[in-house]
Amino acid sequence: MSSKSLVVTGATGQLGRLVIESLLEKGVPADQVVATARDTSRLDDLAARGVQVRHADYSDPASLKEAFAGADRVLLVSSSEVGQRLAQHQNVIDAAKDAGVDLLAYTSIANGDRSGLALAAEHVATEQAIAGSGLAHTFLRNSWYLENYTGQLPTYLEHGVVLGAAGEGRVSAASRADFAEAAAAVLLTEEPKQVYELGGAAFTLPELAATVTEVTGKEVSYNDLPADALTEVLVGAGLPEQYAAILADADQGLGRGELYVETTDLEALLGRPATTLTEALTEALRAA
Ligand SMILES: NC(=O)c1ccc[n+]([C@@H]2O[C@H](COP(=O)([O-])OP(=O)(O)OC[C@H]3O[C@@H](n4cnc5c(N)ncnc54)[C@H](OP(=O)(O)O)[C@@H]3O)[C@@H](O)[C@H]2O)c1
């Protein structure tokens, strides 16, 4: 496609950075990519490669106005500041509208029009605000990151257990890199769909434990706990109470199937199968 200015917000974050790398890998000239961040000094390496780096704080409308000047397409990477996200995202929507962008893409959550996860409320409300804005838009409804699990590999191995509150629910987790590549593909698609439900091959948490055993050769089992008990364990491990409760609530949602997606949208955007749990765990073990 011939867009000249593709803006990616949250470029200091893990997903945003990978989207920019993917755009460049796909051959987009660096000067057509705009990377925005609160702290632009953390993007010096991208600036050195010719990427346009601009300051943007979701809580600062004036910064968004400057950052989106001349933008054709904007990818809003959802904020990590849970509780403030709707107001922040509204600022981004307003700035995108003022700038007259052709497309606003938003990284939402699986089943983002109806998910009952506490974490999803701000995504559902953001989707509604975007749809109500009149902007041409695309929702990238990402399921869980595989890294939410691979990052815990040392803990699984230390205790020989995967703890959860998800029962036999299935999660369509995929790697950040795959979600990022899909987002880059959407930014480069002439007429993207309004909704992509994105996820990889689904697994249950008992299957996660079995796959950890298979990949590492160390016996790891799954222990299903009531959500309150899981929250307590997480608090005991040092997580703030509110965050622990949000994670336990997400596991319950997983148990209800709310992080499961039926579609092959991710595979279609990648043009290949998504990275599997086995591949991701193997890589995490190798890198440990
Ligand atoms: N699907 C999942 O499993 C999953 C898991 C975790 C999070 N998420 C969601 O997906 C998003 C992207 O994931 P990620 O792994 O890239 O998260 P991340 O590494 O924490 O990155 C979050 C990005 O949001 C930026 N941000 C936060 N508040 C901002 C503000 N007020 N103004 C401008 N930028 C702001 C951060 O900027 P700074 O670097 O300045 O802080 C950072 O660039 C997260 O923010 C969260 O909404 C999804």
Per DSSP, the three-state class of 30 is helix
- Output the six-digit token pair for 223: 């222990």
Question: Angle at CA 126, nearest 5°, toward 174 and 20?
Answer: 45
Identify the structural domains of the chain with CATH numbers, from first to last: 6-142 (3.40.50.720), 145-173+200-261+270-288 (3.90.25.10)
Closest-lying ligand 1 atom to the alpha carbon of residue 88: 31
Q: Which residues line ligand 1 (CB under 6 A)?
A: 10, 12-16, 37-39, 56-59, 77-81, 88, 107, 142, 144-145, 148, 176
Confidence (pLDDT) at 3: 56
Question: Angle at CA 265, nearest 5°, toward 58 and 168?
Answer: 90
Contacts of 43 (CB under 8 A, 6+ apart): 11, 12, 35, 37, 51, 53
Mean pLDDT score of the chain: 97
Q: Which of 77, 93, 109 to mutate to test the pocket of ligand 1 (most atoms within 8 A of CB)?
A: 77
Looking at the predicted structure, is the pLDDT value of residue 106 above 60?
A: yes
How many Å lie between the centroid of ligand 1 and the Cα of residue 138? 18
Looking at the predicted structure, is the pLDDT value of residue 160 above 90?
A: yes
Closest-lying ligand 1 atom to the alpha carbon of residue 176: 15
How many Å lie between the centroid of ligand 1 and the Cα of residue 143? 15
Instruction: Count Cβ atoms within 10 A of the Cβ of residue 235 and give its class: 0-12 exposed, 13-18 middle, 19 or more buried.
Output: middle
* pTM of this prediction exceeds 0.75: yes
Confidence (pLDDT) at 288: 85
How confident is residue 69, by pLDDT bands cut at 50, 70 and 90?
Answer: very high
The average pLDDT across 77-90 equals 97
The average pLDDT across 155-179 equals 98
AA letter at 73 = R
- Closest-CA residue, ligand 1 atom 45, reads 80
* pLDDT tens track for 260-276: 999 999 999 999 999 99
* pLDDT tens track for 123-157: 999 999 999 999 999 999 999 999 999 999 999 99
